[in-house]
Amino acid sequence: MVFPTQGHLFRALPIALALSACGGESAPPVTAEESLEVTETYARILHAAYSDAVTGAQALDGAIDAMLASPSESTLTAARTAWTASRPAYLETEVARFYDGPIDDPETGPEGLVNAWPLDEAYIDYVVDASGTPVEGGLIYDDAELPTIDEASIAERNQVGSEENVSTGYHAVEFLLWGQDRSTTGPGARAHTDYVEGGEATGVARRRAYLAATSSLLVTHLEEVRDAWSESAGNYRADMIAAADEDPREPLRRILVGMGSLSGAELAGERMNVAYMTKEQEDEHSCFSDTTLQDQLHDAIGIRNVYLGRYTRTDGSVVEGESLSDLVASRDADLDARMREQLDASVTAIEAIPGPFDQAILGTDDAAGRVAIAAAVDALRAQTRTIAEIAALLGVTINLEE
């Protein structure tokens, strides 16, 4: 299952739209009005979440500028803190992936430039070889390959048609702030001197330029996606709302495909169960900072937000409206109650995983970390099946890998 132009996080999932002619469901068909109400709330939530992601990325960009202006352990730590703080809002938007929406439109979606993984560290900067010796290399050391370092040039180098290596986005910034994580007990430990001109470190000028450009590019891409969800004519949001008039089920299909794909194949499967089954150290998305559990938690919260029609913004204010939950409850109160219980249970199960994630996957199957991960995977899979049931109830059949 692979999307052509992006890395790991840009993945087609097995989704089918087979409008069930004989589903045996007797629920009344969804009206255009009902669909519009849910779609409106969904769009408002996404616009708010992407706006928060932009704000977080701007704050990160500012902290990076401050660090570059005056590199020290404390300014580097502040930049790392800003990176970690910028992540939750973005993760809560990932529920809007997997249906070729603005974030991962096959032609224009910037997902692979924003959150792709695994990162080609050696393609960007020096890495340490097996004996612990730094190996200088990557774009930062390659003037011929990348003569100028700016937003445009690194975007162009990145993953065109999946032939290029991942070298931008959150995880590139993360790598440039933390460095490789070769520690079994903590995150990466890049020294601030990597950014000090005229010191011991090599490649400093180009590394500084690369970090600044990658960070700016991240803001640019997030702004593009945010604007696709704003209230204005001719953008994706307008199209999705128009689709509700044409076929009330279509926007609901997209919403459910996003929820179900993230819940099952992506989060339970790709992001948790793969590492659980392979026990591969660092086989996790935010491996440099060891913040993968935060990613998983906010992915799950993002799914719950969409179902409940309620998103808590970074500043604590709340965006809410007519929800999928209301729509389901109007037809099958028990099913709605089960969905809400399962969404809560998944969030709780992820919260119960002892961090860091790359340690929790290790050991025997009765080790506390592995038991907790397995329970979270099971909880996510159970909720994925319920999402498929909800789709069927609303007249949309989707094939979801759990």
Partner 1 sequence: MERAASSVILSVLVLACAPADPSGYEPGEERSGGDTTVFDTSRAAYSISARNLTFDERSRFLVGNNFFGDNWVVAPSSTSARDGLGPLHNALSCGSCHLFDGRGEPPGEGEEMVSMLVRLSVPGQDEHGGPLGEPTYGGQLQPRAIPGVPPEAATHLAWEEIPGTYEDGEAYSLRRPILTIDTLAYGPMQDDVMTSARVAPPVYGLGLLEAVPDATLLALADPNDADGDGISGRVNHVWDATRGETAIGRFGWKATQPTIRQQTAGAFLGDLGITTSLFPSQECSESETECRAATAGGEPECEDDILDFVVFYGQTLAVPARREADDPEVLRGKRLFRDAGCASCHVPRLETGEHEISALADQIIYPYTDMLLHDVGDELADHRPDFEADGREWRTPPLWGIGLLQTVNRHQLLLHDGRARGFAEAILWHGGEAEASREAFRAMSRDEREAVLRFLESL
Question: Please, what's the b/e burial string for 70-80 (b: 16 or more CB within 10 A of its CB; e: otherwise)?
Answer: ebeeebbebbb
Which of 14, 186, 355, 363 binds partner 1 (CB under 8 A)? It is 14
Interface with partner 1 (CB under 8 A), residue total 57
Q: Tokens standing for 389?
A: 């049931």
CB of 192 to partner 1, least distance (A): 20
Answer for which of 43, 91, 95, 127 binds partner 1 (CB under 8 A) is: 127
Q: Evaluate whether 260 touches 269 at the Cβ level (below 8 Å).
A: no
- Name the CA dihedral angle for 98, 36, 91, 47, rounded to a multiple of 10 degrees: 120
For position 363 contacting partner 1 by CB under 8 A, the verdict is: no
Q: Residue 402, interface with partner 1 (CB under 8 A)?
A: yes
Distance CA 234, CA 292 (A): 36
Distance between CA atoms of 360 and 297, rounded to whole angstroms? 15
The answer to whether the beta carbons of residues 152 and 214 sit under 8 Å apart is no
138 binds partner 1 (CB under 8 A): yes
Binder among 1, 152, 337, 368 for partner 1 (CB under 8 A)? 1
Decide: 168 and 158 in contact? Cβ < 8 Å.
Answer: yes
Name which position in 203, 251, 269, 302 contacts partner 1 (CB under 8 A). Answer: 269
With binding defined as CB under 8 A, does residue 66 bind partner 1?
A: no
Q: Compute the least distance from the CB of residue 402 to partner 1, in Å.
A: 7
User: Which helix (H) or strand (E) covers residue 180, if one does?
Assistant: none
**Which string of b and e fits 328-366 if b means at least 16 CB within 10 Å?**
bbebbeebbebbbebbebbbebbeebeebbbebbeeeee
Region class of 316: left (phi > 0), else alpha (psi between -120 and 50), else beta? left
The one segment of 61-69, 195-203, 262-270, 292-300 that binds partner 1 by CB under 8 A: 262-270
Query: What share of residues in the chain are helix, strand, coil (percent, to 5)?
Result: 60, 5, 40
**What Rg value do the Cα atoms of the chain yield, rounded?**
22
Tell which one of 125, 181, 194, 299 touches partner 1 (CB under 8 A): 181
**Residues within window 230-259 making contact with partner 1, judged by CB under 8 A:** none
- Alpha carbon distance 67, 47 (integer Å): 30
| 282 binds partner 1, rule: CB under 8 A | yes
188 binds partner 1 (CB under 8 A): yes
281 binds partner 1 (CB under 8 A): yes
- To partner 1, the closest distance from the beta carbon of 249 in angstroms equals 14
Contact between 128 and partner 1 by CB under 8 A: the answer reads: yes
Selected from 65, 118, 202, 326, the binder of partner 1 by CB under 8 A is 118
Which residue among 34, 61, 111, 270 contacts partner 1 (CB under 8 A)?
270
Range 196-215, binding partner 1 (CB under 8 A) = none
Closest to partner 1 by CB, 164 or 322: 164
Binding of partner 1 at residue 401 (CB under 8 A)?
yes
Residue 287 in tokens: 């491996």
Q: Which of residues 149-168 bind partner 1 (CB under 8 A)?
A: 161-166
**β partners of residue 128:** 134
User: Interface residues with partner 1 (CB under 8 A)?
Assistant: 1-4, 7-8, 11-18, 117-123, 127-130, 135, 137-139, 142, 145, 161-166, 180-182, 188, 265, 269-270, 273-274, 277-278, 280-283, 287-288, 399, 401-402
